[in-house]
């Protein structure tokens, strides 16, 4: 079976997505979980660019524009997530997910 | 052309995997920055230069700084855990889940017939991109601006809120 460049790009993004998923599920540090989620978002962006580049209709810039919006939303998400991490740290003096079991107190 | 893609993919995935497996948070954050730079190089390879520079500016420039400051602000002591017996089962479960998802994705990708690849690289100038953004996508551009503003203000409020509650507690 021949593997075209589109499939190589998709395999690349699948591998990146799985690395992010494993990191987000296995680590107990909140910052690393957030970074794993960022990796998964990046893998999704890779798919948009791959389909724009190798898809049947590259004249439409839809993939590129979607990735631009996605990067902006990911930046907002990272800012809010890290602010939440700092707020949690101020409450309980560490950033372990297992101990963040209270919303107030 | 394909070898460049393979090298980029190997570098990016390896940097991300090592970052997720490391115990030192600073090293993890720096390796993730390298991984994001690899993704920007992939965008350059694919011909989406504007997105590549946006990725460099936003991820390698801004988010990496925010992450590094968050790591430094929340660093407590040397007890960077993660090797306790209770978490081993979770690591195993996460590896199993990730492997299963990877298997499903790879099977789906390899099971699909390859499409015909267009011969020419699609050319998309910044002018075309700007016209598309300000023309048919102007409403979404405004919405993204509002979302960013509200999210950043919310982040500042969240990170600074504990400071405000302290004077109220004091008599």
**Using one digit for the tens of pLDDT, what is the confidence trace for A8-62?**
889 999 999 999 999 999 888 888 899 999 999 999 999 999 888 887 776 678 8
Whole-number pLDDT of residue B170 = 45
pLDDT for residue A90 is more than 90: no
Residue B59: count other Cβ atoms within 10 Å of its Cβ. 24
Alpha-carbon distance B113 to A83, whole Å?
A: 45
A4 against A67, higher pLDDT: A67
Tell me if chain B has a CB within 8 Å of the CB of A10. Answer: yes
Which DSSP category does B59 fall into?
Answer: I
Alpha-carbon distance A89 to A55, whole Å?
A: 45
> What range defines the domain where residue A17 resides?
5-92
CB A83 to CB B137 under 8 A?
A: no
A70 within some domain: yes
Count of domains for chain A: 1
A47 within some domain: yes
The C-alpha of B170 sits at a distance from chain A's nearest C-alpha, in angstroms, of 17
**CATH number of the domain that residue A16 is part of:** 1.10.287.3510
Quote the ipTM score: 0.89
pLDDT tens digits along A60-74: 788 899 999 999 999
Contact B34, B20 (CB under 8 A): no
Q: What is the mean pLDDT of each run of 10 residues along chain B (171 residues)?
A: 88 92 87 94 89 92 90 70 65 90 91 68 81 89 94 89 52 46
A12 within some domain: yes
Whole-number pLDDT of residue A56 = 76
Residue B108: count other Cβ atoms within 10 Å of its Cβ. 11
Chain B residue closest in CA terms to A5: B2
A98 within some domain: no
Contact B74, B37 (CB under 8 A): no
pTM of the model: 0.86
Contact A42, A71 (CB under 8 A): no
CB B58 to CB A79 under 8 A?
A: no
Size of interface A-B (CB pairs under 8 A): 229
A56 within some domain: yes
Alpha-carbon distance B155 to B3, whole Å?
A: 42
Identity of the residue in B94, B124, B159 whose CB atom sits nearest the CB atom of A26: B94
Name chain B contacts of A45, Cβ cutoff 8 Å.
39
Of A43, A19, A17, A54, the C-alpha closest to B45 is A54
Residue with tokens 């015909």: B116
Whole-number pLDDT of residue B171 = 46
Identity of the residue in B28, B51, B151 whose CB atom sits nearest the CB atom of A68: B51
Q: Chain B 133-162, CB below 8 Å of chain A: which residues?
A: 133, 137, 140, 144, 147-148, 151-152, 154-156, 158-159, 161-162
Whole-number pLDDT of residue B21 = 86
A45 within some domain: yes
The C-alpha of A105 sits at a distance from chain B's nearest C-alpha, in angstroms, of 12
Tell me if chain B has a CB within 8 Å of the CB of A91. Answer: yes
Tell me if chain B has a CB within 8 Å of the CB of A5. Answer: yes
Name chain A contacts of B2, Cβ cutoff 8 Å.
5, 8
Whole-number pLDDT of residue B122 = 73
A46 within some domain: yes
Contact A78, B67 (CB under 8 A): yes
Q: Where does A1-105 have alpha helices with state H?
A: 5-26, 30-54, 62-92
Of B124, B162, B159, B102, the C-alpha closest to B48 is B124
Tell me if chain B has a CB within 8 Å of the CB of A40. Answer: no
Partnered with residue A96 across adjacent β-strands are A29
A101 within some domain: no
Identity of the residue in A42, A56, A87 whose CB atom sits nearest the CB atom of B159: A87
């Amino acid at each position: 079976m021949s593997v075209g460049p589109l499939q190589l790009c998709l395999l690349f993004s699948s591998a990146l997505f799985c690395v992010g998923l494993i990191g987000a599920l296995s680590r107990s540090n909140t910052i690393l979980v957030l970074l794993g989620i960022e990796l998964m978002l990046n893998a999704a962006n890779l798919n948009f660019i791959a389909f724009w580049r190798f898809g049947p209709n590259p004249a439409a810039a839809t993939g590129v524009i979607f990735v631009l919006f996605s990067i902006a939303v990911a930046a907002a998400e990272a800012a809010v997530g890290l602010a939440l991490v700092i707020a949690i740290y101020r409450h309980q003096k560490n950033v372990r997910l297992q101990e963040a079991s209270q919303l107030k107190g | 052309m394909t070898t460049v893609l393979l090298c980029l993919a190997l570098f990016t995935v390896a940097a991300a995997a090592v970052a997720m497996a490391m115990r030192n948070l600073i090293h993890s954050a720096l390796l993730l920055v390298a991984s994001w730079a690899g993704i920007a190089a992939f965008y350059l390879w694919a011909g989406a230069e504007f997105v590549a520079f946006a990725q460099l500016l936003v991820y390698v420039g801004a988010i990496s700084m925010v992450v590094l400051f968050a790591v430094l602000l929340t660093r407590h002591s040397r007890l960077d855990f993660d090797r306790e017996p209770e978490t081993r089962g979770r690591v195993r479960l996460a590896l199993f889940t990730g492997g299963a998802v990877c298997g499903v994705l790879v099977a789906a990708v390899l099971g699909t017939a390859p499409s015909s690849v267009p011969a020419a690289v699609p050319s998309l100038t910044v002018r075309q991109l700007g016209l598309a953004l300000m023309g048919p996508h102007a409403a979404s551009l405004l919405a993204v601006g509002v979302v960013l503003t509200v999210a950043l203000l919310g982040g500042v409020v969240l990170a600074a809120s504990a400071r405000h509650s302290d004077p109220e507690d004091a008599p």
